[in-house]
Structure 1
Amino acid sequence: MTNTRSPNNESACHLFACCREAKKAYSMVGLPNLPVMGNNVQDWFFDCLNALHNELIAKFVIICWGIWCSRNECVWQGASFDLSLMLRHSLLFLENWSAANTSPIVNQGPRSVVRWEKPQRGRLKMNTDAAINQTKGITGFGWLLRDHDGHFLGAKNLRGQGIYGPKEAEAIGMREALSWLKDTCLGEVDVETDSQLVFKAISGHDFTSAFGLIICDIKELASQINDVDFCFAKRSANRAAHTVAREAVYESDCGEWFDTPPIFLRDCILDDLMN
C-alpha cells in the first residue's frame, strides 16, 4: 500500500489481493490464505466470498472496506497507513453494526448487592471503570489504587472524545489503568472491574475483533507487572472507580492524585471502609 497522491500507481488487484499489508491484515483476523488468480479483482473478490463461511465473510468484507478507506486517506490526505488502527476501526464498525442488527437479551433477574472488599494483606487493589456521556460525545476513564487496609494510594482519570461501546470503553479504561500501574513499578495487585464481558474475555482465549485487540493489550501489560489478578465485582462494589471516571466526563479538568484522595472521592472511600 503506497502513500501517494496518484491513484494510478496501484492497481485494485494489488491493493486488495497482493499487497503485503493487506495479506497481513487478512491473516490477523483469522482469514486463511486467499488465492490470487489473474488480475481481475472482481473475480478474486467473489472467489474469496465463495471460499469463506459466514463469520469470515463478514470479516473479509469489512477488512476490504477498511483497506479502501485507508488507501483513500493515503492518496487524498497524505496520511500514513497504520495497520493496527485500520483493523481496530474496521472491526469496531462490524461489531457495532452486528449489535445494532441483533435483538438484545435482557436479564430480568435480581442483582445482588456486594460491597467493596479489601485485598489480602500484602496485596493492592485497583478498581477501574468508564463513564459515557452520549450528549457531549465524551467517554471518561477512571481508576484508583488502595492497599490492604483500604488506604488510598493513587487515582487518575482521562477523557476521550467520541462514543465507545460499553465493553470497549471498560476495556480501554482497564488498559490505560494497567499502563499507569506499570509506570508506578508496583505489583501484587488485584485489578477489579464491574464488566463481566471484560472479565470473561481476559479469562478466555484471544479472538480477532476490535474488542479482542484491546483485551490482548490488557494481557500483554499484565504480563509485564508482577502478580496481577483480575476480579469481577458488582457495580455497587465499584462505585469509587465510577466516581473517578464520571468526574472526567462532567468536569472540565482531568487529574492524577497520590496519597491524598480528591475531595469528590473522599466520601465514597470512607463509605467503602465503613461497610
Structure 2
Amino acid sequence: MQNLVFGGNVETGEETIKRVFQTTTKEKSVMFSLLCWGLWMRRNKWVWEKINMSVFGVKHMAINFLSTLNRANARDTQQKNRQIEQAKSWSRPLDGWVKVNNDAACNQEREFVAVGCVVRDASGHFLRAMSNIVRGARSPREVEALSMREALSWIKDRGSSNSVYESDSKLLIDAMDKQSGSSLFHTIVEDCNELAKYYENVLF
C-alpha cells in the first residue's frame, strides 16, 4: 500500500485508515468505509469492464447506499418496536374460550400476599374479576404460583371449562409444564395442576 503524507508526517494507507476510525465520529466512519468501497468498485469497473467512473460517481454511489441502509435500519427498528408493543398488548383467546390474566403482590413486612385475576372473553369484554388476601410471607416465585392457584380455584367453581391462563412469570409457566421438586413453590404448582384437571380444556 502506497505511503501517504498527512500533516507533514508520512504514513501508510493502513495507518491512515486506522487514524480515521480512531479520531472521527461513527457517522463519518461509516461514510469513509462506503467511500473506500466505492473506490474499490470503481477500480473493478475499470479493470474488468474498462468503465471509468468519476469521483462524483463514487461519492454519489456511497451516499445512495448509505441512504438505502438507513431506510432499511429504520424499517427494521419500527418492525421490532411493533413486535414489542404487540407482545405487551393483550391478545384474544379463541372463540368460545375465556382468558384469565392473574398476578400478585406481596408485603413482606406485614406478611401477606394480594392475589387477583381478570377474566375476559374472546372479544376482550370484561366478564368478572377476583381479588384475595393470602396470609404469610412468600418468595416472589411462590407469590406468582399462589396467584395461579387462587385463580384456578375461583374460575373452576364458575364453570369456565375452556380457559387460557396468562401470567407474567415465565418460571411459573415452565414449572406448570415440566418441572418438579419438593419446595413450597413446587407444592403450589402441583396444586395448580390438580385443579387444572377439573377443566375440560385449559392452557397456560
Structure 2 Cα separation of the partners of residues 184 and 210 of structure 1: 27
Aligned length: 121
Mapping 1:102-121, distance limit 5 Å: 114-121=88-95
Find the counterpart in structure 1 of residue 114 from structure 2: 140
Find the counterpart in structure 2 of residue 208 from structure 1: 182
TM-score (norm 1): 0.42
Structure 2 Cα separation of the partners of residues 213 and 175 of structure 1: 11
Structure 2 Cα separation of the partners of residues 218 and 128 of structure 1: 13
Find the counterpart in structure 1 of residue 158 from structure 2: 184
Q: Which 5+ residue runs of structure 2 have no aligned equivalent?
A: 1-83
Find the counterpart in structure 2 of residue 218 from structure 1: 192
Q: Report the structure, 1 or 2, having the larger strand content.
A: 2
Q: Which amino acid aligns with 1:214?
A: I
Structure 1 Cα separation of the partners of residues 95 and 198 of structure 2: 22
* 1:112 Cα deviation after fit: 9.1
Mapping 1:16-31, distance limit 5 Å: none
* 1:170 Cα deviation after fit: 0.7
RCO (CA 8 Å, sep 6+): is it higher in 1 or 2?
1
Identity across matched positions, percent: 38
Greater Cα radius of gyration, structure 1 or 2: 2
Structure 2 Cα separation of the partners of residues 160 and 198 of structure 1: 18
2:146 to 172, 176, 181: 172
Runs (4 or more) in structure 1 with deviation over 6 Å come to none
Structure 2 Cα separation of the partners of residues 162 and 111 of structure 1: 36
Find the counterpart in structure 2 of residue 9 from structure 1: none
* 1:113 Cα deviation after fit: 5.5
Q: Which amino acid aligns with 1:207?
A: G
Structure 2 Cα separation of the partners of residues 217 and 171 of structure 1: 9
SS across alignment from 1:184: coil
Q: Which amino acid aligns with 1:217?
A: D
Find the counterpart in structure 1 of residue 134 from structure 2: 160
Find the counterpart in structure 2 of residue 251 from structure 1: none
Structure 2 Cα separation of the partners of residues 217 and 162 of structure 1: 18
SS across alignment from 2:192: helix
* 1:208 Cα deviation after fit: 1.9
Structure 2 Cα separation of the partners of residues 134 and 151 of structure 1: 34
Question: Is 2:108–2:138's contact at 8 Å kept on the other side of the alignment?
Answer: no
Q: CA RMSD in A?
A: 2.0
Q: Which 5+ residue runs of structure 1 have no aligned equivalent?
A: 1-109, 231-275
Structure 1 Cα separation of the partners of residues 184 and 136 of structure 2: 16
* 1:138 Cα deviation after fit: 2.5
* 1:165 Cα deviation after fit: 0.5
